[in-house]
Amino acid sequence: MSFLPFTRPSIDEATIAGVAEVLRSGWITSGPQVKAFEAALSQLFAGRPVRAFNSGTATLEIALRLAGVGPGDEVITTPLSWVATANVILEVGARPVFVDVDPRTRNIDLDRIETAITPATRALLPVDLAGLPVDRDRLYDIARRRKLRVVEDAAQSFGANWRGRAIGACGDLVSFSFHANKNLTTSEGGALVLSSESDIAPCEKLRLQGVVRSGEDGMEVDVLGGKFNLTDVAARIGLGQLPRLEEFTARRRLLARRYFERWDRSLGCELPVEDFENANWHMFQIVLPDRAKRAEFIAKMRELGFGIGVHYPAMHLFSLYRALGWREGQFPHAERIGRSIATLPLFPAMADADVDRVCAAAKKVLS
């Protein structure tokens, strides 16, 4: 049998043909396809304004800038995420303040947030790890009481919901990623759901070098922006993916259910929370038992024909963050999970039998 990666995008022939049409059109950078993609996303998110970007990292940085975060400020976040989550805080001149995770959900522990708030705290930046949403009710209760902005790192939770409302349909600033491994992809890209119409103009300026055009030839720059615009080629992929979002999410949930049904619980692994209403099942992650060495598990699974991912090491232990004063032992849950977490194959094109094969192979390796 062919090698089974931990993820693979599902791009249909109609979308491929649509991309070819864009390439033939002669307009391949930001243009009508981007506008159409933004409009479709806005409709998905209850009419809220949305702007597309060339990465989810860019959307986080711009969200922080729109929230007024800058030098001298602190932003509370989780140590268990892709390192971009904290890197963007440094990029705007602020300081990331890590809070340990809940060992069950693997998301930021909301019970620990308030003790980390200081007079310098400007915003909260939670992450929906593997597509399991952070409790939005409790999150925004804290934010309202402590007068803090919220930048939702929803890079992994596109298509998820909280109590019946799509992630992105409410809240403050909501950032999505459309990287190749995400539930909906534009190959590379992202989108930012804005908190109000007043955010549109500054967002567009920051997205493209701070430029504002007027008349036939007028141009002004009054703020330092970046080069973060999405191309029409990428947007056309996204437009092809959006009508299949419910199909993708439903299939992922079915595959996740099968993992729970077929996984041998005697292996001693920690399984994720069984949430089939809110989570989009971006990833199916296990935490290996202490006796298992993750590197060996990955290598042996690869020999058997299966790709295993690592998402993610605890980022406060990277040299960049150790240099800022973070150290081992501060966040024991994130550190333990970060050492032993492993992402199993899960993507819509997988067959039920693929799940069975992964479970059988893992049992063989871990036994």
Q: DSSP string of 154-184?
A: -TT-TT-EETTEETTSSSSEEEEE--TTSSS
Number of alpha carbons in the 13 Å side-chain half-sphere of residue 78: 29
Q: Give the CATH fold of the 13-243 domain.
A: Aspartate Aminotransferase; domain 2 (3.40.640)
In percent, the amount of the chain with pLDDT more than 70 equals 100
Instruction: Tell me the CATH class for 244-366.
Output: alpha beta
Calpha distance 46→160 (Å, rounded): 14
Question: Which residue is listed with tokens 């062919």?
Answer: 2
Q: Known catalytic residues? A: 182
Report residue 108 as tokens: 């930021």
Q: What is the pLDDT of residue 1?
A: 77
Kindly list the distances between the CA atom of residue 286 and the CA atoms of 80, 95, 281, in Å, as whole numbers in the listed order.
Answer: 14, 31, 13
pLDDT one-digit tens code per residue, 225-278: 999 999 999 999 999 999 999 999 999 999 999 999 999 999 999 999 999 999
Residue spans per domain, the chain: 13-243, 244-366
Per-residue model confidence as pLDDT tens digits over 195-229: 999 999 999 999 999 999 999 999 999 999 999 99
Cross-strand partners of 275: none
Provide φ and ψ at 279, rounded to 5°: -70, 150
Residue 313, token pair as written in the block: 């090491």
d(CA 29, CA 325): 42
C-alpha radius of gyration, the chain, whole number: 21
Q: Determine the Cα–Cα distance for residues 147 and 195; give it in Å rounded to an integer.
A: 15
pLDDT of residue 148: 98
Kindly tell me if the per-residue pLDDT of 189 is higher than 80.
yes
* Helix residue spans in the chain (DSSP H): 13-25, 32-44, 56-66, 84-91, 110-116, 136-146, 200-207, 232-241, 245-262, 294-303, 319-322, 332-340, 352-366
Q: What is the mean pLDDT of residues 70-94?
A: 98
The pLDDT, as a whole number, for residue 173 is: 98
